[in-house]
A = this chain, B = another copy of it.
Amino acid sequence: MFSKACEYGIKATLHVAQQSSEGSRVGLKDIATAIDSPEAFTAKIMQQLSRNGIVDSIKGPNGGFEIPKEKLKTIQLIQIVSAIDGDQLFYGCGLGLKQCNEQKPCPVHHKFKAIRDNLKTMLETTSIEELALGLSDGLTFLKR
């Protein structure tokens, strides 16, 4: 469904979000440990997230990554997915046709549209804040 990079990106963002909600800034090592990901690869992903304005990055001692509290509720899952995997998943043809639309649909066009609209809506309406809350409450987990 999502690339590995995107999976790491979502998990990393949620960890940063959860820590930010508790007022803590987190470093790369901390993130990689929390989400059980390769550190250097995760660094690349954090750069993408930072460039896309999803997390703030601060250099130097006591630096790290954070998300301003007031921003937590404005970030939806879809922003992370779009930033890392693009939106081919939402708009591209399920069978990989260059052109596939209502006028000239692939055999699964209509059936797929329903599913993907579903997925897109879910990602659009799910906020980082909401998911981070589940982590804080110990109801959900980022590794294992």
Instruction: List A residues at the B interface (Cβ < 8 Å).
Output: 1-2, 4, 7, 10-11, 14, 77, 89, 94-100, 104-109, 111, 114-115, 118-119, 122, 126, 131-132, 134-135, 139-144
- The answer on a CB contact under 8 Å between A122 and B111 is yes
CA distance A64 to B69 in the complex (A): 62
- The answer on a CB contact under 8 Å between B107 and A142 is yes
Copies in the complex: 2
Q: Which residues of B contact A143 (CB under 8 A)?
A: 97
- The answer on a CB contact under 8 Å between B140 and A109 is yes
User: Could you tell me the distance in whole angstroms from the C-beta of A118 to the nearest C-beta in chain B?
Assistant: 6
- The answer on a CB contact under 8 Å between A107 and B144 is no
